[in-house]
Amino acid sequence: MAETIVKIENLVKRYKDLIALDHLNLEIKQGEVYGLLGPNGSGKSTTINCLLSLLAFDKGNIEIFGEKMSPDNYSVKKNIGIIMQNVAVFDELTVYENIDYFCGLYIKDKEERRKCVEDAIAFVELDEFRKFYPKKLSGGLLRRLNIACGIAHKPELIILDEPTVAVDPQSRNKILEGIQQLNRNGATIIYTSHYMEEVEQICTRIAIIDKGKKIAEGTKEELKKMIRNTETVTIEVIDIDDDVKNKISGLPHVYSVEFSDGKLEVKCSDGKHNLIRILGVLQECGLNFGRVYSELPTLNDVFLEITGTALRDSE
């Protein structure tokens, strides 16, 4: 069984009357890409900041690598890499110097550090920009520099707090691929985001957080199994009357039929051939239809079914 890298027990953090973290429990195993998914203000960054001993908390216990985490626990800190939501680099230092500076906070040996810096530059593909100052870099390249500064010392645990905010799709894909590569190289990853697609794409296990509480945890498959919805069929039709809606509702496995803005949305709980049966009803009733989509449930559906609001609605 994999070793527990991070253990958070009954973590409570209050900002005056607001409870930011409400008895949060997390356990992250070695080699995982652990996703913390939740809307803005759900407590993801607060969890990370408590984990890193930046924030004081009211109650609870945090252990990393089996040791109690504290601001002075340098042996634990030495093996953590942190990539913050805000880019944290020096404008007056070049790409190389920035990475060397932050790497130097962890590695004293110059030769070892030089190798680590070179590896980090190669990893984020910033070789041709090594002498550039951050102000000359695009947003995507700047994010990659931010990541390089956080991982150059080759940490065992890497924490990424919304690293893809305001990043173009191409750079986002590069960043996500990079994170998966780091995981393949042996690092345990904690990844926070409010983009469910990213979390689905890279995380091996996911905790959904809302209002400071963990409301669900598991692999994406496990999370999706927790809910009733297994397939959502969407069909473009001009109009539909209640009679047709009732016929569709009566089909096996169908538990929700809604029509708005020329789109019929049918949610099914289980079973096969749902799409064929629904289209059959429409043909029987002589209705013409346009485009047809069949979608498997997303983490947004999980969040929606558990909390009653969509992830994006709650942002």
Partner 1 sequence: MFFHHFKYDFLTCIRNKGLIFWLILFPAVLGTLFKVAFSGLYDSVAVFKAIPVAIVTVEENAVFDEVISAISDGEEALFSVTETDETTALELLETKQIMGIIYVSEKLELTVGSAEKMNSSSAIQQSIIKGFVEQYEIQKSIIMDTVTNSPEKLESVIEAMSADIAPNSSVPLTEGNTDSMLSYFYNLMAMVALFGSVTGLHIATCSQGNLSALGARKCCSPVNKLVATIASLCGSTLAQSICTIISTTYLVILGIDFGTRLPLVYLAGIVGSIMGVSLGFFIGSFGTANEDVKNGVSMTISLVCCFFSGLMVSNMKAVVAMYAPWFNEINPAAVISDAFYCLNIYSDYERFTEKIITMLVMAVIFTLGGFVLTRRKRYASL
Instruction: Give the binding site for partner 1 (CB under 8 A).
Output: 15, 49, 52-56, 71-72, 74-75, 77-78, 80, 82, 84, 86-90, 92-93, 97, 101-102, 104-106, 108, 149-150
In whole angstroms, how close is the CB of 54 to partner 1 at the nearest point? 5
**Pick 135 or 291: Cβ nearer partner 1:** 135
Nearer to partner 1, 17 or 72 (CB): 72
Least distance between partner 1 and beta carbon 48 (Å):
10
- Round to whole Å and give the CA distance between 315 and 310: 9
Cα angle vertex 137, ends 136, 143, to 5°?
150
CB of 56 to partner 1, least distance (A): 4
Minimum distance of partner 1 from residue 58's CB (angstroms): 10
| Closest to partner 1 by CB, 90 or 293 | 90
Residue closer to partner 1 by CB (options 80, 282) is: 80
Least separation in angstroms between residue 289's CB and partner 1 is 51
Instruction: Give the whole-angstrom CA distance, residue 247 versus residue 74.
Output: 66
Give me the helix-helix angle, 274-284 and 242-249, nearest 10°.
Answer: 150
Cβ–Cβ < 8 Å for 137, 95: yes
Query: Which residue, among 84, 61, 71, 78, has the nearest Cα to 4 in the 3D structure?
Result: 61
Residue number with CB closer to partner 1 (92 or 197):
92
